[in-house]
A = this chain, B = another copy of it.
Amino acid sequence: MKRKLTLKLIAKELDVSISTVSKALRDSAEISEDTRQKIKAFAKLYNYKPNNIALSLKNRKTRTIGIIIPQIVHHFFTTVIRGVEQMAREHNYNVIITLSNNDFDKEVLNMELLANGSTDGFILSLSKETMQKDDFRHLTEAIDQGMPVVMFDRIVDEIPCDKVLIDDREGAKLGVNHLIKTGCKKIAIITTEDYITIGKLRTKGYMEALESAGIEVDKDLILKLDAIDELNDKAKARIKHFLKGKDIDGVFTINEIFAVTAAKYIMEADKTIPEDVSIVSFSDGELSQHFVPSLTTVSQHGEEMGRKAAELLINKLERPEEEVEQYTTAYIDTSLIERESTKRVK
């Protein structure tokens, strides 16, 4: 056969529609296995070459999702990534990850890198420095240019995009209420400075839980650290000093590093967990699970958060343009995981 073989010619030869040929050649399940094989064999026999290498990929984008996170030496972020990976895989998307290292410049560079043709959209949690600077132009610009963005965990309300959050205040209340229910009356909190939204909200939840139970908030029992992901020696020393000789029977911390550090100093002071001092930590990771005693935690369900963020992004990517101008804020429920660091509810 000398003529260039086209879809039309195949259709004519085999007495089927052009659409059937096209679908069969990209292995569409709409076409019976038998017909598909027949068409593909014919195409192969006569050396059919489509314009594009794979018909199914015509006009397709990168099918890649970018993730920008502050850092990964942090169990929570790794579980979010796991969730994004799962959902992406189910929808046949790739995932690439970049780190801002809690640095504003790096976050901006990463956004440029990912928006530059290698991804269709991205999922982002803000760096500590970006939150301090209060400068989000890099994000709003990308969004204005039509780049779909989903923010999670460390977000800013005013940015017009989809968001996935947990209710930090409710989560903290859940944890502190558990301490109250198990009989604690003098409950301390180890949290962050207020410019870190999650720290601020969790501190608020702690205060509300105490007030609802008729326990007066004591400023001396609140420690605010300028740390979030990793503890330096200075921060450790502040925790040690804060706990020393304090008359407390419960500690609520906004992350697990704060919790295990507090637990260590409590045990060093020959106090027993949970009999003398109970501990509840926000965020559930490897440290909480493997520590002895294992820690009661408020789980953020990072995997679910990642799945939701990916779902929102993929929805945006696969929807006609006129429908994409609405933004969703999805909340993921927290839950309490009871372990050995708290007493049983009486």
Binding site for B on A (CB under 8 A): 2-5, 9, 12-15, 26-27, 41-42, 44-49, 52-54, 56-57, 64, 72-73, 75, 78-79, 81-82, 85, 89, 94-99, 101, 106, 109-110, 113-114, 118, 257, 260-261, 263-264, 267, 286-287, 290-292
* Chain B proximity of A138: nearest CB distance (Å): 15
Q: A267 — which chain B residues lie within 8 A by C-beta?
A: 292
Given contacts A13-B26, A292-B292, 10 further A-B contacts (CB under 8 A): A3-B52, A3-B57, A4-B53, A5-B53, A46-B53, A72-B78, A95-B99, A96-B118, A261-B290, A263-B292
Nearest B residue to A36 by beta-carbon distance? B15
Q: A287 — which chain B residues lie within 8 A by C-beta?
A: 286-287, 290
Give 9 A-B contacts (CB < 8 Å), ordered by A residue: A13-B26, A47-B53, A64-B113, A73-B78, A81-B99, A95-B99, A96-B97, A96-B118, A97-B97
CA distance A149 to B264 in the complex (A): 43
CA distance A224 to B113 in the complex (A): 43
* Chain B proximity of A269: nearest CB distance (Å): 13
* Chain B proximity of A127: nearest CB distance (Å): 13
Nearest B residue to A89 by beta-carbon distance? B106
Q: Check B113–A96 contact: CB distance below 8 A.
A: yes
* Chain B proximity of A125: nearest CB distance (Å): 15
CA distance A315 to B260 in the complex (A): 42
Q: Check B78–A94 contact: CB distance below 8 A.
A: no
